[in-house]
Every structure is written in structure tokens, then in C-alpha cells.
């Protein structure tokens, strides 16, 4: 909110006074530095608090270059490292990747295992068949039942991937990697590390559906909001603690409209078909890749099964919105949410997570 009237004038006078009084200049807070970058096919906004402008801009430039490289390396359908790996897998060959790629693949494999395969970046061929791989929204008809059945029967699984150091191979040539469901979260984790290495302590990184914070905004925490999947607006706000990441998977982001039906871009690896009854899942966690992967996995799990998958993935803060507008959340998440208007758009039903042991994969 912008300060107005007498208060605003007083604030201006105070700022001017401090600026003019040489001896007090050190007390004057440095203004926030924010920049919007177009990266990963989305706008990435970075806001840095409490750092000199030159230092903040140099840090943002480093993040920009890094994310640009990751977008290139991690793109499954444009010439680059991942596309080459996918070609090698299809040919039954092993392929040597660089260390960051080996790390993100190992992370994806572990997250896929923890999600009981509901988050599975090995289903790239299904994603492509539905047309969700392109930069533009897909058009035309959905793939035929026969094609879907053939792709599902090939059972591509992230756990087919064997990663030995930087050498990667798959025991199943049907594996085609698409990192789209956790790339943003993983990239924001790396961007956060870049900012830290550049001496930044307080920042917020926001990339369409994913937001991650470092430190605070001075005396107050960083405050963010969760988008309303049905209307232009937000369903709730929350304050993020240092190091937290909040990711939302929503079927409003990418979809296929065909024959009066809207097909979500999130696919159930078990059926090869889009998720139908869930419109948005938000996960708050200490790690971007985990929050992003879990938001996708819980969308697939749906209303009946999400608590089991959340527990297996070790995430405690979840908000789900169904196609009917029902809101469900874990008690831990509910305790963090505040309504933005008078109240939440619907009552939030609380669901406790079961005690489950995390799935084991090799």
C-alpha cells in the first residue's frame, strides 16, 4: 500500500533529511532491487532486500545466466543436453551428463520413488502425445486410447534410470525425461544458492507458480499469496519463513481444450490421462524441488490418496482445491494461511497425514 497524505509527506521528509545529513547516510535503508527476467518459459521475478544496488544487480545477472543455461540444458524437446540424453536412452545407450544434470536426475529419481511414482519425469512421451511439451497451448484432439494404452504399457519409470556418477542409462528405452514438473523448483533452489554465494541474504524469487524466499524483508517476513484457480484473485496469503518454498500446481496454467472438455497438463502415469478432479495443489516445504514435485504428485493422487503421498514425500504443508471449489489442507498449512478478504472462498477441511514410512527404491 502506498503511504498517503501527511504520513507520506512525513516519510518523504524523513527520507530526504537522512539523505542530506551526511553523517546519517549509513542509517538510510538501501532500496529494494527487483528485476523481472523471462526464463524457463515464464517470468521470474527477483526482489532483493538490504543489499547495495550494484551488488544486487550483479547477483541477479549471475542468476539470469545460470537459469538461462539450465533452461537450455534441461529442455527435453530442443537441442541440448537432456534431448541428447533422451535420444541415447531411446537407442539403449548410456550417456555422460554434466554434474548438475546428474544431480537433478538423482533428485528426480528419489522424489519419484517417494511419490510412489505419481510424480514421474520419465513420462515425457506421454506429455508429448498430449501436446503439453510445446511452448504454446496444445490444440486438436487428445491422443487416441490406443496410443495412450501403448505408452502406458511401456511402463516408463524414473526408477528405470541408473545413474553412476555422471553416466546415465535406462533399463527401459521407453523412458523419455521431461523435468517440467520439478525444474522450476530445482532451478529456484540453485538460484538461491547463487544469490547466497553473491552475498545476498534477503530475497524473494517468484516464478509462475513457485516462490522461494531467503531471509526476510527487514523486520517483516516475506508475504505471498496463493492464486484463486477459478477467478482473478487469491484464495489466501501467508508469510514465508527463511528458506521456505511454496509451489502450486494448477490445471489453469496449461491445458488442452477439446470437444468442450478441458484436459489438465498433469498426467496420471498409471493411466496416461490428465488429472480431472483437482484444480490446484499448493505445497510449502524447505526445498523448491520437493515442493514442486509434491504439488504435481498430490494433484495426481487426488482427494482420496493425497495424504498418503504427502506423508511418503515428507511434506507437511498442503492446500488442495477441488474442481467443485472445496478446500482441504493439513492442519500445519491451515495454521499458516490467512484470508485476503473477509474469509476464505470456502471452508477449509482439515486432514491429518497418516504415519507411513517412505517408500524404498534403489
Please tell me whether residue 296 binds Mg ion under the rule CB under 5 A: yes
d(CA 220, CA 229): 28
Number of residues this chain uses to bind ligand AMP (CB under 6 A): 20
All three cell numbers of 314, joined, read 515428507
Nearest to 292 by CA among 234, 211, 199: 211
Please tell me whether residue 181 binds Mg ion under the rule CB under 5 A: yes
- Please give the residue whose beta carbon sits closest to Mg ion in the complex: 296
All three cell numbers of 332, joined, read 500445519
Of the listed pieces 130-138, 227-235, 242-250, 353-361, which binds Mg ion according to CB under 5 A? 242-250
Please tell me whether residue 178 binds ligand AMP under the rule CB under 6 A: yes
Give me the helices (H) in the chain, please.
5-20, 53-73, 81-90, 99-114, 124-130, 145-153, 183-197, 288-313, 331-334
Known binding-site positions for Mg(2+): 181, 292, 296
Q: Which does 206 bind (CB under 5 to 8 A by kind): Mg ion, ligand AMP, none?
A: none
Which long-range CB contacts under 8 A does 73-80 form with residues at least 24 apart? 73/98, 73/100, 73/101, 74/101, 74/104, 74/179, 74/183, 74/187, 76/124, 76/133, 76/176, 76/177, 76/178, 76/179, 76/180, 77/128, 77/133, 77/134
Closest approach, Cβ 229 to ligand AMP, in A, equals 12
Please tell me whether residue 180 binds ligand AMP under the rule CB under 6 A: yes
Closest approach, Cβ 248 to Mg ion, in A, equals 8
CB 187 within 8 A of CB 67: yes
Question: Looking at residue 324, what DSSP letter applies?
Answer: T
Member of 138, 215, 269, 312 binding ligand AMP (CB under 6 A) = 269
All three cell numbers of 147, joined, read 496410443
Of the listed pieces 132-140, 296-304, 316-324, 347-355, which binds Mg ion according to CB under 5 A? 296-304
Please tell me whether residue 132 binds ligand AMP under the rule CB under 6 A: yes
Cβ burial of 71 (10 Å; 0-12, 13-18, 19+) is middle
Member of 295, 300, 318, 353 binding Mg ion (CB under 5 A) = 295
Please tell me whether residue 236 binds Mg ion under the rule CB under 5 A: no
Report the site for ligand AMP in 40-99 (rule: CB under 6 A). Answer: none
Member of 204, 300, 309, 313 binding ligand AMP (CB under 6 A) = 300
CB 237 within 8 A of CB 119: no
Report the site for ligand AMP in 96-115 (rule: CB under 6 A). Answer: none
Member of 49, 254, 273, 334 binding ligand AMP (CB under 6 A) = 254
Cβ contacts of residue 341 below 8 Å, gap of 6+?
Answer: none
Please tell me whether residue 292 binds Mg ion under the rule CB under 5 A: yes
All three cell numbers of 15, joined, read 527520507
Q: Contact positions toward ligand AMP, by CB under 6 A?
A: 119-121, 123, 127, 132, 178, 180-181, 249, 253-254, 265-267, 269, 292, 295-296, 300
Q: Contact positions toward Mg ion, by CB under 5 A?
A: 181, 249, 292, 295-296
Amino acid at each position: 500500500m502506498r503511504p498517503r497524505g501527511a504520513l507520506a509527506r512525513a516519510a518523504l521528509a524523513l527520507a530526504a533529511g537522512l539523505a542530506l545529513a551526511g553523517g546519517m547516510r549509513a542509517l538510510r535503508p538501501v532500496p529494494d532491487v527487483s528485476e523481472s527476467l523471462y526464463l524457463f518459459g515464464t517470468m521470474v521475478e527477483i526482489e532483493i532486500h538490504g543489499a547495495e544496488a550494484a551488488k544486487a544487480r550483479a547477483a541477479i545477472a549471475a542468476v539470469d545466466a545460470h537459469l538461462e543455461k539450465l533452461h537450455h540444458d534441461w529442455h527435453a524437446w530442443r537441442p541440448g543436453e537432456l534431448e541428447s540424453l533422451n535420444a541415447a536412452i531411446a537407442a539403449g545407450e548410456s550417456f555422460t551428463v554434466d554434474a548438475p544434470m546428474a544431480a537433478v536426475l538423482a533428485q528426480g529419481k528419489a522424489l519419484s520413488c517417494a511419490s510412489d511414482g505419481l510424480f514421474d519425469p520419465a513420462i515425457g512421451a506421454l506429455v508429448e502425445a498430449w501436446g503439453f511439451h510445446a511452448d504454446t497451448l496444445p490444440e486438436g484432439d487428445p491422443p487416441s486410447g490406443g496410443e495412450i494404452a501403448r505408452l502406458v504399457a511401456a511402463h516408463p519409470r524414473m526408477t528405470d534410470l541408473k545413474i553412476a556418477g555422471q553416466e546415465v542409462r535406462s533399463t527401459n528405452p521407453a523412458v523419455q525425461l521431461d523435468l517440467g514438473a520439478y525444474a522450476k523448483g530445482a532451478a529456484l533452489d540453485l538460484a538461491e544458492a547463487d544469490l547466497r554465494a553473491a552475498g545476498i541474504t534477503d530475497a524473494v524469487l517468484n516464478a509462475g507458480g513457485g516462490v522461494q524466499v531467503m531471509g526476510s524483508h527487514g523486520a517483516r517476513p516475506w508475504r505471498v499469496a496463493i492464486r484463486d484457480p477459478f477467478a482473478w484473485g487469491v484464495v489466501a496469503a501467508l508469510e514465508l519463513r527463511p528458506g521456505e518454498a511454496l509451489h502450486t500446481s494448477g490445471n489453469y496454467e496449461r491445458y488442452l481444450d477439446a470437444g468442450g472438455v478441458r484436459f489438465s497438463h498433469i498426467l496420471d502415469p498409471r493411466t496416461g490421462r490428465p488429472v480431472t478432479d483437482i484444480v490446484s495443489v499448493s505445497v510449502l516445504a524447505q526445498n523448491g524441488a520437493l515442493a514442486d514435485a509434491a504439488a504435481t504428485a498430490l494433484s495426481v493422487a487426488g482427494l482420496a490418496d493425497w495424504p498418503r503421498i504427502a506423508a511418503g514425500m515428507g511434506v507437511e504443508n498442503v492446500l488442495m482445491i477441488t474442481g467443485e471449489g472445496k478446500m482441504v489442507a493439513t492442519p500445519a498449512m491451515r495454521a499458516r494461511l490467512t484470508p485476503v478478504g473477509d474469509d476464505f472462498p470456502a471452508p477449509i477441511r482439515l486432514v491429518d497425514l497418516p504415519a507411513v514410512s517412505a517408500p524404498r527404491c534403489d
